[in-house]
Amino acid sequence: MEKLKKQSFLADLGLVAVAFVWGSGFVASKNALDSMTPMMLMALRFTVAALLSGIIFRKSLKNISKETLRAGCMIGFFLFTAFAAQMIGLQYMLAGKQAFLTGTNVIMVPFIYWAVKKHQPDRYNFIAAFIMMLGLALLTVDFSTGFTFQLGDSLTLLCAFLFACHIVAVGIFSKEHDPIDLTVIQLSFAAVLSLLYVIFSGEFTLDIPAAGLVNGLYLGVFCTFLAFLGQTVAQKYTSSTHAAIILSLESVFGSILSIIILGDAFTPLMFSGCFIIFMGILTAETKWSFLKSKQKKSEKISEV
């Protein structure tokens, strides 16, 4: 039991680290997109990550089974399509609004997992997911511009659904297959699809300025290779719903780093959003057990 608790705690720390790295990816992506198209950036980051993972873990790839290969390709498909829908949708909407809509995957994950594995999450996970959605709204949405539903909204909701499918797929397959093998396969599959897209669309180019290349390499090494490796390994020891809640901290870290590095303004609503997100995490992590224990102690004292 103690070993399982320790593994679960370390998995949570790993997912927080992944969320932080993904949050830093907002800054790197913003800088990199000044030098290349969104899909070319996807091709660069996934190709770098796939080559790096393939070189480092080449020895463990010799005995990959067909089942592991299929599982990795399925995860890679969700990864590629989610990023593609996000990048294309971003052309038609505000980035803040997209961040909020993408964050709806926190709510989608328990329902998708329930549909696939017939395992209903407890009420605290549902409550935490909805609390965090409110926090994400306050953190990312510019309410002064209104909230209309357009093409970009549809594509971003599709993106959120695909990211939720990715989290669920990783959670299921990482418990049945080697997480390292799954990481290499999913990144390679996403890289191949990204390269095919930019080649046939005519977006492919090797003429990338140094600044764009540096940011692209950061995205490939840290935000893709190391982050998705960390996610896949960590989800072996925790539930998909739990992982989705922790990974949604990406929005918090992204906002904070944007303020520090890019000089973005931070409003009182955004501060409120951070606090509400923290309350959501507290709900999912503790299920308010410390309040229950206090209540029981007070009841015992009153009886005496």
- Asked if the structure places residue 240 within a domain, the reply is yes
Write out the E strands in the chain: none
pLDDT of residue 96: 63
93 belongs to a structural domain: yes
Show the tokens assigned to 213: 């290349």
Has residue 293 been placed in a domain? no
Q: Which amino acid is at 14?
A: G
What is the per-residue pLDDT for 142? 66
Q: Residue 223 belongs to what domain range? A: 2-126+150-248
Task: For residues 209 and 206, give the distance between their C-alpha atoms in angstroms, rounded to a whole number.
Answer: 9
| Residue 274: CB atoms within 10 Å | 18
d(CA 3, CA 125): 23
How far is Cα 66 from Cα 71, in angstroms, rounded to an integer? 9
| pLDDT at site 271 | 78
Q: Is residue 193 assigned to a domain?
A: yes
Q: What is the pLDDT of residue 233?
A: 87
Q: Give the chain's domain count.
A: 1
Specify the pTM. Answer: 0.80
Q: Is residue 8 a part of any domain in this protein? A: yes
C-alpha separations of 56 from 21, 70, 154, 179, 185 in Å: 20, 21, 39, 14, 13
Asked, for residue 302, whether it belongs to a domain, the answer is no
**216 with 48: CB under 8 angstroms?**
yes
In whole angstroms, give the CA distance from residue 72 to residue 201. Answer: 26
Residue 267 lies in a domain: no
Closest CA to 101 of 128, 127, 132, 136: 136
* Token duo for residue 131: 């609390």
Tokens, residue 2: 């103690």
- Tell me if residue 121 falls in helix, strand or coil: coil
Tell me if 165 is assigned to some domain: yes
pLDDT means per 10 residues, the chain with 304 residues, are 79 91 83 87 95 90 89 96 86 70 81 86 82 80 67 86 93 90 94 96 92 93 92 84 81 78 75 82 70 57 53
